Structure 1
Amino acid sequence: MTHTRAQSSLRENAEMEVEELINSRLLLIEEQLQRKLEAKMEDQFCNISLKIDDVLTEKFTSLSKEIFEAMESLNNRVISSTQGTRTPPKSRLFSINQII
């Protein structure tokens, strides 16, 4: 009987060591996966941020161009409406640079 108890004890110890080894390895794998996930999420966040920046820059550029064209058109209309008068009133004339 002592022989079977010793074998049983050895088996239990071996099983516990294997279980600890497996748990240790699983923990290591989990940490590696977590780091990979965090890195991937950071990359995706950077990509999204860059896309947002691109869209905002495009919209701002487009809007700036529209504003510039509208001011240029308005300036031309003011100049056209004052042609033919001897001295156009300064209050009605403006330059695009003054507005910007």
Structure 2
Amino acid sequence: MLPGAAVKFDVACTVHVEVSAERCRADVLLDGNLAMGPGDRVRVHGEPIRARIGEVRSYRRMATVERAGWLRRTWTKLSGHFALTELYEVSFTGAIR
């Protein structure tokens, strides 16, 4: 393996899905409380999950975790800082009387 190359491995996970008038969310909890870093990717395997309004469900699935290599991790950190600065762009206009 090349230095800084990405590492892939499979892990079991739980997918929690909630669909309601107030929210629509899905959370993936990897077994072993694996810490994720900038640029890391998770792909959950299995059939597409379909939930109706008012449903809260949990599914057990397998997932593939791909750890970012140094280049993708660095790029993700840098681009994240620039994306964050977009939130600071605020303008004020004076009231005309």
TM-score, length basis structure 1: 0.30
Name the structure with the higher strand share.
Answer: 2
